[in-house]
């Protein structure tokens, strides 16, 4: 087990380095930071001097070496756009993204699991067909359209919810949270729903498929024959057996949720990392883009690792295999 | 109601309500598309930064509601005697937000700071050879040659307190890492910075000790950048914010049709135009015309002007909000040539005839490069123009790219014809002549945005004379000549003046200035 | 022969699933419309002289000011909406299908090999997959676009935008195929028929593609349909973020991006006509995917 974790940790470092390399190599294609940093009246020679000072004229390998060695030392550099330390910018935006991701995940579980169970228990019912079709339509509409439609329905027409931003946040020693104010919660609903639609559909379908499969397995049939009440049967025996694959997929999806909150954050002006990243692309803010990508990669790697470990803990057969 | 009267009445209302509601708490929430990226007035010379910081910092002179230059930290100024340059007499009794007193030392310090290598506004001081402190309230700016426009050119040169900047290790603008002045301010202006969360929210509160009284009734202003136009509009309609700018032209009817909302529109000074690769020997993007560059022929450039139907673009793409343009500045800007106010009419037959005359009876194909996120509806404009050019045989292969890649490609001569918007920073015709019409000269810092390197010896000769001429009539004569030459040679094809569109709750009074700077002191919440 | 196909399990199930029949009809209709767009559509959005700005912003024919020449109205450039969506679907499907095929070939090959060989090769492939997953699709698109810019002459970039976008989408989709193929191969590899083939000394490529592949096709087919839907949506999203196709080569995504500007302006058809069309297409593909999943996994029936 320890050997396995160690091995994966080493691999993880390589994954992150690879992401950093790929990310870094694409920056020079995004645009010219210098023309974004200077005004129209800045002379050609001043521009050139700035380019030189930023090290943009250095060979690619040197630039990458500087970037990655600084980062390994914990020095994330300064933003071209605001000249703030990048670590600070990411740190102030991280809570917004994480909270959005977690709430959307919780919504998708709270709705997705019961819906999955329901549709599995009544596979031919009208309600099942309706739910299946609705969620299918939900994942077939581009996220940005869903977001804008929600804003106009609940924010503008009905006036129930805020249209943008995080609303009231509370600062808990560097971590700003939306969870402690009513306003914060109200602001969370629409973006979390927008981001959660895809996860919700996925969770529901997964639970449904696993339930259908488990319900046909011998031990459930046996339990039915023994006269165990249906409710207990469905929720205690059947559902708990479907949880392993569901947890896996959800775990793997969480990294994706964080990365793909870019679109949602852009539509809702949600001040998270995704929005920061989009602003940075627009401005060719290379240091911020680089750190963002590495942070995202870190989340992926971390969640992957946790899921693999969970597997081994849950499924004894894998433990034996790893040991041999 | 015409724009002028609307503006006047807005201003009037602002003045009237000034006395009525003073003393009540008026929070004003507003949104723009971009966050000012720095709080340092010398670090970045971009419009969002300068516009925002004009609420906090002040210069020696400032622009009034009608863009005219008026006294600010200097109460008066006059040309120096016996040498080139200007003397500024400073206002006495002005204090910074932290209580420090404003003196001539601060002007000298701010000059040194703003003209340093780390500064992004140092081009403003290219003509200055020396700054002398005469006494505590008198400063001389010595220039290398007569410079009648100098006071106009430093309206955005903002003054910092030398003690504050030096004491906080911010004696030079931040270039790599931020410094104290990147996120903190200490100006003399009407508002102080209450809090700042970059990219999320910035709060301002009025400065009670401000020397002037031309002030609305905002007691707290909250700026939120909202990048997505639809989101911003939704926030305005739902009442989450009080003011947004800019509003997409296609949404104006919707906004002004709603109860409780109003739109204020005017013209920016930005001229939208097409430029050409005058120096290119061949077309880059043509399928068949690869050995010559038809755009070197003025008749072909004139054909472009005749082929584009600005009236239809106005009606469909810009919803009737634009003013057709004949030259590189709009009417009303000093130096505008009344004598050359006509622009080529929409006349596709004439365009075809001109093409045939130039030796392209069957037209030709070429590449048109445009931005898609820089000017109002720039992409739609270029698609429409491409379609109109195709109708006379000029088959444009259109490329639209974000502005972050755009200038780089234009500087690399990667275009056959391109879109450009230009706003005269000094509000004088001399500005576009210097940047767009003079032959490229990196040494002298001239023609730096003349991508296609349009070159005319007479224009080059006239520019320094224009810069030094003190007599308005003689100066205008030279301007007329420049405009006439460049119209004859079709150096550019100016299309129209871009509109300025602001939307707000109808309880809000604002003053819209042609440079699109948003002055909180002119905001009144009723 | 035909009768046997008609009677087979899959077709039997299909005949008895109204949802699948409707979805298939919609998909075929759109596919047909896209395929024959040049013959059906009254104007060609690529031909700048076939439309005019004068006709811009006309509403659908049933509304006031509607023009019978343009049954579903025109966009801000005067293009007929019907022609635009037919050509748009053509481009979207072209991109979606090609991206799916590339992703399938790439992912399945890597996944098969990883599952077959295991060990170090498997670890490397899966780490590459991790790297890919950690790079959001929008970045992959930027990267590919950037590389193309770096190595190709400027004049050909615009013509290659479609290719660049397709490759970018394919790259962000192949991981699913690789993971699924790998997992299934792990299972199949230990079965007797594979062991027998290996013992008989057959070439590994032969074992992988002739013996194993047909047996793991079921789940792969499902992913193919789901990913076709994702590819079409991804193209739309990339266009929304401004790194998709230029406005003059309209895909459904580009049409929706342009339409977004008219969300509030009252010209609703510019946004909603292509959006509804896109949703209809993606929903029917997804329903077909569901159907395939159920058919290939008979235990769920």
Query: Domain-by-domain residue ranges, chain C?
Result: 74-300
Please tell me if residue B182 touches chain A, with a CB cutoff of 8 Å.
yes
Domain with CATH 3.10.105.10 in chain B: 268-499
Q: Is A75 on the interface with B (CB under 8 A)?
A: no
Largest CA distance in chain C: 76
- Closest by Cβ to C127, choosing from A14, A145, A266: A14
Contact B372 C247 (CB under 8 A): yes
Size of interface A-C (CB pairs under 8 A): 108
Closest chain A residue to B44 measured between Cα atoms? Answer: A38
Is the CB of B240 less than 8 angstroms away from the CB of A162?
Answer: yes
pLDDT tens per residue across span C23-60: 889 989 988 988 888 888 888 877 777 778 888 888 88
Looking at the structure, tell me whether residues A234 and A131 fall in a common domain. Answer: yes
Q: Which of A39, A78, A271 sits opposite B46 (nearest CB)?
A: A39
Contact A260, A97 (CB under 8 A): no
Please check whether residue B307 touches C, CB under 8 A.
Answer: no
Q: Does the domain at residues B3-59+93-100+109-131+161-242+507-525 carry the CATH identifier 3.40.190? A: yes
Q: Quick one: tokens of C110? A: 């890597």
- Residues A112, A239 within the same domain: yes
C290–A255 C-beta distance less than 8 A: no
Please judge whether A263 and C123 are an interchain contact, meaning their C-beta atoms are less than 8 angstroms apart: no
- Total domains present in chain A: 2
Distance from C54 to chain B by nearest Cα, in Å?
A: 7
C279 interfacial to chain A (CB closer than 8 Å): yes
- What is the distance in angstroms between the Cα of B50 and the nearest Cα belonging to chain A? 11
Q: What is the pLDDT of residues A60-84, one digit of tens each?
A: 888 888 888 888 888 888 888 888 8
Question: Which tops the pLDDT comparison, C51 or B195?
Answer: B195
> Which residues are CB-neighbours of B402 under 8 A, at least 6 positions away?
A31, A282, B371, B372, B373, C242
- A222 to chain C, minimum CA–CA distance in Å? 18
**B with C: how many residue pairs have Cβ under 8 Å apart?**
77
Query: C249, C49, C247, C268: which is closest to B380 by C-alpha?
Result: C247
- In a shared domain, residues A127 and A185: yes
Across chain C, what does the average pLDDT equal?
Answer: 82
> What is the 8-class DSSP label of residue B78?
E
Query: Closest partner residue to C48 among B316, B386, B400, by Cβ?
Result: B386
Domain span(s) for CATH 3.40.190 in chain B: 3-59+93-100+109-131+161-242+507-525
Chains touching A by CB (3 or more pairs below 8 Å) = B, C
Q: Is A80 inside any structural domain?
A: no
- Fold for B268-499, please state it: Dipeptide-binding Protein; domain 3 (3.10.105)
Average pLDDT over residues B169-191: 91
* Contact call for A15 and C145, based on CB within 8 A: no
List, for residues B75-128, the tens digit of each pLDDT value. Answer: 999 999 999 999 999 999 999 999 999 999 999 999 999 999 889 898 899 899
Residue in C53, C247, C263 nearest the CB of B379: C247
Strand partners, B263: B503
Percentage of residues in chain B having pLDDT higher than 70:
95
Bridge partners (DSSP) listed for residue A172: A175
Test C78 with B313 for CB contact under 8 angstroms: no
pLDDT of B209 strictly over 50: yes
Both A97 and A245 in one domain: the answer is: yes
Distance from CA of B44 to the nearest CA of A (A): 6
Q: Indicate if A111 and A18 belong to the same structural domain.
A: no
The last residue of one of the domains, among A39, A72, A105, is: A72
Of A143, A278, A300, the CB nearest to C134: A300
Number of CB atoms found within 10 A of residue C193's CB: 12
Contacts of residue A275 in chain B, CB cutoff 8 Å?
A: 199, 227
The model's confidence at residue C165, banded by pLDDT at 50, 70 and 90, is confident
CATH of range C74-300; options 1.10.30.50, 3.40.50.10800, 3.60.20.10, 1.10.3720.10: 1.10.3720.10
Chain C residues with CB under 8 Å of A139 CB are 286
Query: What pLDDT sits at residue C160?
Result: 74
Three-state DSSP state, C47: coil
State whether A49 and A98 are in the same domain: no
- Give the model confidence (pLDDT) of B468-507 as tens digits: 888 999 999 999 999 999 999 999 999 999 999 999 999 9
The residue-averaged pLDDT of C273-282 equals 90
Rounded average pLDDT over C251-257? 86
Measured between CB atoms, does C241 come within 8 Å of chain B?
no
Does residue A147 share a domain with residue A37? no
The reply to whether A170 and A287 lie within a common domain is yes
Which is more confidently placed, B74 or C245?
Answer: B74
**Is A148 in Cβ contact with C142 (below 8 Å)?**
no
Can you give the pLDDT at residue B439? 95
Residue with tokens 């002119």: B522
CA distances from B463 to B429, B438, B479 (A): 10, 8, 9
Confirm or reject contact between C273 and chain A (CB < 8 A): no
Peptide bond into C69 cis (omega under 30): no
**pLDDT by residue (tens digit) across A183-208?**
889 999 999 999 988 888 888 888 88
Q: Which residue of B has its CA nearest to C158?
A: B399
Residue C154 to residue B229, Cβ atoms within 8 A: no
Q: Do A262 and C136 touch (CB under 8 A)?
A: yes
Distance CA C150, CA C164 (A): 12
Do the Cβ atoms of B227 and A43 come within 8 Å? Answer: no
Rounded to 5 degrees, what angle do the CA atoms B122, B128, B130 make? 115
Of A12, A39, A72, at which residue does a domain stop? A72
Strand B394-401, strand B364-371: pairing: parallel
* Same domain as A58, residue A104: no
Residues A165 and A245 in one domain: yes
Same domain, A174 and A300: yes
pLDDT of C143? 67
Q: Are the Cβ atoms of B230 and C248 closer than 8 angstroms?
A: no
Mean pLDDT for chain B overall? 90
Interface test with C, best of A124, A142, A296 (most C CBs within 10 A): A142
Interface ipTM: 0.83
Q: Which residue of A has its CA nearest to C299?
A: A213
Residue A247 has pLDDT above 80, yes or no: no
Range of the domain at A38: 2-72
- Does residue A79 lie within any of the structural domains? no
**C9 in contact with B, Cβ within 8 Å:** no
Going from the C-alpha of B457 to that of each of B171, B438, B439, B461, the distances in angstroms are 43, 9, 8, 6
Chain C residues in contact with A216 (beta carbon < 8 A) = 299
Say whether B386 and C49 touch across the interface (CB within 8 A). no
Mean pLDDT of the A102-128 span: 87
C78: alpha, beta or left, given left = phi > 0 and alpha = psi -120 to 50? left
Å from C53 to nearest chain B CA? 6
Choose the final residue of a domain: A72, A95, A128.
Answer: A72
Q: What is the mean pLDDT of residues B201-210?
A: 94
- Best to test chain A binding among B117, B182, B240, B421 (most A CBs inside 10 Å): B240
Q: Decide if A53 touches B, using CB distance below 8 A.
A: yes
Dump pLDDT digits (tens) for A276-289.
Answer: 988 888 888 888 88
Judged by CB atoms closer than 8 Å, whether chains meet at C53 and B388 is answered as: yes
Residues of B in contact with C154 (CB under 8 A): 284-285, 409, 414
- The secondary structure of B431-472 as a DSSP string is HHIIIIISPPBTTTTBSTT-TT----HHHHHHHHHHHH---H
* B386-413: pLDDT as tens digits: 999 999 999 988 888 888 778 888 988 9
Distance of CA A183 to the CA centre of its chain: 23
Query: pLDDT at position A268, please?
Result: 92
Interval A294-303: pLDDT, tens: 888 888 778 8
Closest to C76 (Cβ–Cβ): which among B317, B386, B409?
Answer: B317
Q: Which residue has the higher pLDDT, A291 or A228?
A: A291
User: Could you tell me the CA-to-CA distances from A103 to A200, A257, A265, B346, C279 in Å, in that order?
Assistant: 12, 11, 14, 57, 26
Tell whether A196 and A297 lie within a shared domain: yes
Would you call B409 an interface residue with chain A, using a CB distance cutoff of 8 Å? no
Kindly tell me if the per-residue pLDDT of B133 is higher than 90: yes
Interface touch A297/C134, C-beta < 8 Å: yes
Spell out which residues of chain C touch residue A262, defining contact as CB-CB under 8 Å: 136, 138, 241
B73 falls in which pLDDT band (50, 70, 90)?
Answer: very high
């Amino acid at each position: 087990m320890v050997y396995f974790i160690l091995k994966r940790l080493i691999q993880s470092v390589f994954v992150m380095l690879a992401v950093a390399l790929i990310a870094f190599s694409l920056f020079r294609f995004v645009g010219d930071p210098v023309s974004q940093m200077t005004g129209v009246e800045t002379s050609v020679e001043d521009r050139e001097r700035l380019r030189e000072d930023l090290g943009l004229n250095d060979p690619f390998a040197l630039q990458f070496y500087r970037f990655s060695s600084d980062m390994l030392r914990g020095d994330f550099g300064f933003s071209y756009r605001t000249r703030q330390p990048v670590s600070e910018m990411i740190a102030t935006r991280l809570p917004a993204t994480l909270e959005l991701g977690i709430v959307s995940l919780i919504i998708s579980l709270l709705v997705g699991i019961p819906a999955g169970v329901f549709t599995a228990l009544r596979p031919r019912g009208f309600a099942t067909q309706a739910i299946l079709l609705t969620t299918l339509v939900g994942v077939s509409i581009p996220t940005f359209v869903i977001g804008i439609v929600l804003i106009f329905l609940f924010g503008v027409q009905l006036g129930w919810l805020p249209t943008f931003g995080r609303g009231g946040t509370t600062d808990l020693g560097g971590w700003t949270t939306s969870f402690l104010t009513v306003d914060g919660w109200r602001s969370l609903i629409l973006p979390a729903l927008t981001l959660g639609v895809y996860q919700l559909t996925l969770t529901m379908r997964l639970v449904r498929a696993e339930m259908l499969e488990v319900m046909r397995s011998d031990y459930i049939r046996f339990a039915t024959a023994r006269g165990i009440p249906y409710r207990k049967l469905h929720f205690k025996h059947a559902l708990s057996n479907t949880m392993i694959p569901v947890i896996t997929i959800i775990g793997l999806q969480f990294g994706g949720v964080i990365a793909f909150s870019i679109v949602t954050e852009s539509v809702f002006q949600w001040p998270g990392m995704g929005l920061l990243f989009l602003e940075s692309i627009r401005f060719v803010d290379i240091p911020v883009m680089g750190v963002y990508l590495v942070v995202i990669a870190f989340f992926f790697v971390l969640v992957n690792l946790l899921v693999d470990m969970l597997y081994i803990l849950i499924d004894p057969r894998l433990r034996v295999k790893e040991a041999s | 109601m015409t724009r002028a009267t609307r503006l006047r009445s807005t201003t009037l209302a602002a003045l009237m309500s000034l006395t009525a509601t003073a003393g009540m708490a008026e929070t004003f929430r507003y949104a723009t598309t971009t966050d000012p990226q720095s709080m340092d007035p010398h670090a970045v010379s971009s419009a969002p930064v300068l516009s925002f910081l004009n609420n906090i910092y002040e210069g020696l002179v400032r622009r009034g509601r009608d863009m005219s230059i008026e006294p600010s930290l200097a109460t008066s100024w006059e040309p120096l005697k016996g040498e080139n340059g200007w003397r500024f007499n400073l206002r006495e009794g002005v204090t910074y937000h932290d209580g420090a007193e404003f003196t001539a030392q601060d002007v000298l310090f701010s000059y040194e700071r703003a003209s340093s290598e780390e500064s992004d506004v140092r081009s403003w001081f290219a003509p200055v050879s020396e700054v002398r402190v005469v006494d505590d309230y008198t400063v001389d700016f010595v220039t290398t040659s007569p410079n009648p426009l100098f006071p106009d050119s430093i309206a955005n040169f903002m003054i910092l307190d030398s003690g504050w900047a030096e004491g906080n290790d911010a004696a030079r603008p931040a270039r790599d890492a931020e410094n104290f002045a990147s996120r903190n301010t200490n100006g003399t202006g009407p508002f102080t910075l209450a809090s700042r969360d970059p990219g999320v929210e910035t709060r301002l509160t009025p400065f009670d000790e401000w020397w002037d009284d031309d002030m609305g009734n905002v007691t707290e202003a909250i700026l939120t950048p909202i990048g997505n136009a639809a989101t911003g509009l939704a926030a305005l309609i739902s009442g989450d914010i009080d003011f947004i700018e800019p509003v997409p032209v296609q949404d104006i009817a919707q906004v002004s049709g709603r109860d409780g909302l109003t739109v204020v529109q005017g013209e920016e000074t930005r001229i939208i135009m097409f430029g050409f690769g005058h120096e290119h020997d061949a077309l880059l993007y043509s399928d068949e015309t690869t050995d010559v560059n038809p755009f070197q022929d003025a008749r072909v450039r004139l054909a472009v002007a005749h082929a584009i139907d600005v009236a239809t673009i106005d009606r469909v793409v810009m919803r009737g909000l634009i003013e057709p343009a004949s030259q590189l500045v709009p009417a009303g800007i000093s130096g505008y040539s009344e004598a050359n106010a006509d622009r080529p009419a929409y006349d596709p037959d004439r365009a075809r005839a001109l093409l045939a005359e130039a030796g392209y009876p069957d037209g030709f194909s070429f590449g048109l490069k445009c931005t898609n996120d820089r000017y109002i509806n720039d992409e739609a404009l270029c698609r429409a123009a491409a379609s109109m050019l195709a109708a006379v045989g000029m088959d444009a292969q259109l490329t639209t790219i974000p502005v972050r890649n755009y200038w780089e490609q234009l500087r690399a001569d990667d275009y056959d014809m391109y879109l450009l918007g230009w706003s005269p920073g000094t509000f004088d015709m001399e500005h576009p002549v210097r940047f767009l019409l003079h032959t490229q000269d990196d040494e002298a810092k001239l023609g730096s945005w003349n991508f296609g390197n349009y070159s005319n010896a007479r224009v080059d000769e006239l520019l320094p004379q224009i810069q030094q001429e003190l007599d308005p009539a003689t100066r205008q004569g030279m301007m007329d000549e420049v405009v006439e030459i460049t119209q004859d040679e079709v150096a550019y094809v100016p299309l129209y003046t871009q509109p300025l569109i602001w939307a707000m709750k109808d309880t809000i009074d604002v003053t819209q200035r042609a440079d699109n700077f948003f002055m909180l002191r002119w905001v009144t919440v009723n | 022969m035909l009768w046997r196909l008609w009677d087979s399990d899959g077709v039997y199930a299909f005949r008895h699933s109204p949802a699948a029949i409707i979805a298939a009809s919609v998909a075929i209709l759109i596919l047909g419309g896209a395929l024959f767009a040049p013959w059906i559509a009254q104007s060609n959005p690529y031909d700048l002289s076939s439309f005019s700005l004068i006709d811009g912003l006309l509403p659908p024919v049933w509304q006031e000011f509607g023009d019978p020449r343009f049954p579903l109205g025109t966009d801000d450039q005067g293009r007929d909406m019907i022609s635009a969506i037919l050509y748009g679907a053509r481009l979207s499907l072209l991109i979606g299908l090609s991206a799916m095929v590339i992703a399938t070939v790439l992912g399945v090959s890597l996944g098969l090999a990883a599952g077959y060989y295991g060990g170090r090769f498997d670890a490397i492939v899966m780490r590459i997959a991790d790297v890919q997953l950690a790079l959001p699709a929008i970045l992959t698109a930027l990267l590919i676009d950037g590389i193309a810019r770096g190595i190709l002459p400027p004049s050909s970039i615009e013509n290659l935008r479609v290719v660049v976008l397709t490759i970018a989408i394919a790259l962000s989709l192949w991981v699913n195929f690789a993971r699924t193929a790998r997992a299934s191969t792990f299972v199949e590899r230990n079965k007797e028929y594979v062991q027998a083939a290996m013992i008989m000394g057959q070439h590994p490529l032969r074992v992988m593609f002739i013996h194993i592949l047909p047996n793991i096709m079921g789940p792969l087919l499902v992913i193919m349909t789901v990913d076709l839907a994702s590819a079409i949506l991804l193209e739309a999203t990339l266009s929304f973020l401004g790194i998709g196709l230029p406005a003059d080569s309209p895909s459904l995504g580009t049409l929706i991006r342009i339409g977004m500007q008219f969300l509030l302006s009252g010209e609703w058809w510019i946004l909603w006509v292509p959006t509804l069309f896109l949703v209809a297409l993606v929903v029917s593909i997804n329903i077909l995917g569901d159907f395939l999943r159920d058919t290939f996994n008979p235990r769920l029936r």
